[in-house]
Amino acid sequence: MIEYILIAIAVVLFISVIIIDFYCSSYFKKNEESYELLLSEYIGLNFDIDIMTNYAVFFGSLVYYQKIIWFGRLYKGVKMKYTIDRYVQKEAYQFEQSLPENKIQWILKLHCLYKIQAYITVLWLVMCGVLYILVHNQ
């Protein structure tokens, strides 16, 4: 009986991950023009950018998270290294933190949604692991 409950929970979690992913993808697409403007302005100021954000443009919806995380971390003031010897310029943080709410809020919301998706995915994996142990120990 417990197996059926766990299977139901695992299915709901899996479907939730898919729904969140579709929502995040459409939300990013809705704001893609804002992202492109922000990225071009940021690069135009010659600020450091990580390789993943720089090349994420070639991978479509698979890496939307990588496209936004750089700017989210700058906004939050997370200290990041650009190279082994050097941190990202302070001016890059100041630029990002001085953005008007309408330019950054959607990125922060999307980042939060991706974190929720990651937590649900981990919970789903744990649930599947518990199910596997229960089924194979009978």
What does the alpha-carbon distance between residue 50 and residue 56 come to, in Å, rounded to a whole number?
Answer: 10
62-117 pLDDT tens trace? 788 888 999 999 999 999 988 889 999 999 999 999 999 989 999 999 999 999 99
User: Which residue carries 């492109």 as its tokens?
Assistant: 36
Amino acid at 61: S
Amino acid at 115: K
* Residues β-bridged to residue 87: 81
The whole model's pTM is what? 0.83
Look at the block and give the residue holding tokens 């890059």. 92
pLDDT tens digit sequence for 5-38:
989 999 999 999 999 999 999 999 999 999 999 9
Is the separation of the CB atoms in 137 and 9 below 8 Å? no
